[in-house]
Chains A and B, each alone.
Chain A
Amino acid sequence: MKAGIVVFPGSNCDRDALHAARLAGMDAELLWHEDPGLRGSDLVILPGGFAYGDYLRAGALARFSPVMRAVHDHAERGGPVLGICNGFQVLAEAGLVPGALLRNASLRFEHRWVRLSVERRDTVFTKAIPAGAALRLPIAHGEGCYFLPGPQLDALEARGGVLFRYAGPEGNPNGSARDIAGVINERGNVCGLMPHPERASEALLGSEDGMLLFRSLLESAAAVAAR
């Protein structure tokens, strides 16, 4: 499986994502935001950071990068796309996942460890996560308060669109509606989450729970190849 990690001007978790993808056993490379294509990537990762300085709104300008046309096409073909933190904000602005990320209710930039409950394990992003396991991942964001109008939120829940929720004693760090930390599109191939799986890729970093997402994607790709 080849992972392409998109570098926007202002991305700062691109190399962390590259490291995590390679550690998981993927072939991975960085893609530039002005690239018209994805250079044969099977998986696209939109990494964390502050694309285009987060001017206007986080993710609002990155959405119009040339590479995003190719990301849209890739998603339309059913290819997996993972948006982490700022990458989630870009996906939401681009309409590839539902919702918007508002300023944290605390008004602070929140950077700490959180615990996530995994709402579904039948997706390409979560299939390798053991049943009952909660993930320990770090967050680092100023705009992570998930918002969707009430009726749409109910519809999202009803179709199983919530993939991760803040849980446990660490609680909800940003005021997100219904403790939502990550969502998945209807087709099940585009996922955005605020916590950073790539920053929890080795025990040395305090947790390796993030590797479960990368391993899930690898397993899913292997299952498709075997068919």
Chain B
Amino acid sequence: MTTYRFAVSVMPKEGILDPQGRAVEGSLGHLGLDGVRDVRVGRRVELSVEAPDEAAARGTVERLAGELLANPLIEGWAVEMVESVVGVPG
């Protein structure tokens, strides 16, 4: 078995009101920064999965993302593998 480390990025869908992003954007002026626009605030979740291969691990993470980490009605997500460690047979 191999342990795969994944990162799931969850973002509000296009067109969904994102008051957090708007609030962050609203405070940029206080920093004296110009030219920053379209701030969107989402969430990144990291997790490890033990599986025989990457495809199986990715399948588990996709299911987890669609059923729990994101609400498909309002959020989109992207799954990215960040690390894999092959288990040492004992």
Task: Please report A residues at the B interface, Cβ cutoff 8 Å.
Answer: 56-57, 60, 64, 93, 99-100, 102-107, 145, 147-149, 175
Asked if residues B17 and A175 are in contact (CB atoms below 8 Å), the reply is: yes
Q: Which 3 A-B pairs have the closest CB atoms?
A: A107-B19, A100-B74, A100-B73
**Bound state CA distance, A93 and B19, in angstroms?**
20
Residues of A within 8 A of B23 (CB): 107
**Bound state CA distance, A99 and B22, in angstroms?**
22
Which of B19, B23, B69 has the largest number of chain A CB atoms within 10 A? B19
Residues of A within 8 A of B74 (CB): 100, 102, 147
Residues of A within 8 A of B73 (CB): 99-100, 147-149
- What distance in Å separates the Cβ of B23 from its nearest Cβ neighbour in chain A? 6
Chain B contact residues: over half helix, strand or loop, or mixed? helix
- What distance in Å separates the Cβ of A88 from its nearest Cβ neighbour in chain B? 14
Asked if residues A104 and B19 are in contact (CB atoms below 8 Å), the reply is: yes
**Bound state CA distance, A57 and B69, in angstroms?**
9
Asked if residues A56 and B19 are in contact (CB atoms below 8 Å), the reply is: no
- What distance in Å separates the Cβ of B25 from its nearest Cβ neighbour in chain A? 12
Asked if residues A105 and B68 are in contact (CB atoms below 8 Å), the reply is: no
Residues of A within 8 A of B22 (CB): 107
Contacts of B15-44 to chain A: CB distance below 8 A = 16-17, 19-20, 22-23
Asked if residues B71 and A105 are in contact (CB atoms below 8 Å), the reply is: no
**Bound state CA distance, A99 and B23, in angstroms?**
24
**Bound state CA distance, A111 and B88, in angstroms?**
56
**Bound state CA distance, A184 and B60, in angstroms?**
33
Residues of B within 8 A of A56 (CB): 68-69
- What distance in Å separates the Cβ of A96 from its nearest Cβ neighbour in chain B? 14
- What distance in Å separates the Cβ of B77 from its nearest Cβ neighbour in chain A? 12
Asked if residues B17 and A93 are in contact (CB atoms below 8 Å), the reply is: no
Residues of B within 8 A of A148 (CB): 73
Asked if residues A103 and B19 are in contact (CB atoms below 8 Å), the reply is: yes
Residues of A within 8 A of B16 (CB): 102, 147
Asked if residues A107 and B20 are in contact (CB atoms below 8 Å), the reply is: yes
- What distance in Å separates the Cβ of A222 from its nearest Cβ neighbour in chain B? 37
Partner of A57, one of B17, B19, B20, B71: B71
